[in-house]
Structure 1
């Protein structure tokens, strides 16, 4: 997967305005933009489904593997990749740091949400 340019991932990571829209089943049109929490771990961007693998956007992202996001005032064509394993501990820490104090934090670091973790990457290197 491609990497985010530093300026762009910095801008996305400091905001709380990411909206995600995987492609619909036709592979051409985007679904409805859905606001979602995002976190950065190293130079990668991650999102999770609050409702776990039952989240509609998550199911579409895993099935279609692509779509778009809007964040930090811009739109990006992106690729989606399901994530599992030890990286989830670091993603939990990033959620705790960014969203501490939120009553929803516990749900976002639960086993249910961890099972719906997705890495979001630009589809082109020239995302800057």
Structure 2
């Protein structure tokens, strides 16, 4: 798989929001969904606040591919499930806390619930 460039990581990592379009089974793109995005080292992550039942999250399961736009970066991506949640989840939690922890608890708290943590996706450039 391809890797993010340093510039892409910086731009996505500092963007307040990301637009995500998952690919349907026929290859067309779904309507964009706006969400928070975090960077952990050379990896980029998003979470579904509604967990695996969130409509956009379910859409990522059709082809495990789509397109993102954030910080001026427009890129085709693969949606990769987090391999070892025990190792990755605390780091992603901390990335969310650092970037978005200034929001009120009822808003920020939605990305660190157990259901959101279980619906963490790593975005990998294609």
Calculate the TM-score normalised by the size of structure 2.
0.91
User: How far does residue 2 in structure 1 lie from its aligned partner after superposition?
Assistant: 2.4
1:1-128 matched pairs, under 5 angstroms: 1-26=1-26, 28-83=27-82, 84-85=84-85, 86-103=87-104, 104-123=107-126
User: How far does residue 36 in structure 1 lie from its aligned partner after superposition?
Assistant: 0.7
8 Å CA contact 1:62–1:81 kept in 2: the answer is: no
Paired residues in the alignment total 122
Say which is worse superposed, 86-95 or 17-26, in terms of deviation. 17-26
Partners of 2:3 and 2:55 in 1: CA distance: 26
Partners of 1:33 and 1:16 in 2: CA distance: 16
User: How far does residue 61 in structure 1 lie from its aligned partner after superposition?
Assistant: 1.2
8 Å CA contact 1:62–1:82 kept in 2: the answer is: no
8 Å CA contact 2:4–2:124 kept in 1: the answer is: yes
Structure 2: runs of 5+ lacking an equivalent: none
Calculate the TM-score normalised by the size of structure 1.
0.90
Aligned equivalent of 1:126 = none
8 Å CA contact 1:66–1:78 kept in 2: the answer is: yes
User: How far does residue 16 in structure 1 lie from its aligned partner after superposition?
Assistant: 1.1
Partners of 1:62 and 1:6 in 2: CA distance: 28
Segments of 4+ moved more than 2 angstroms: none
Q: Aligned Cα RMSD in Å? A: 1.1
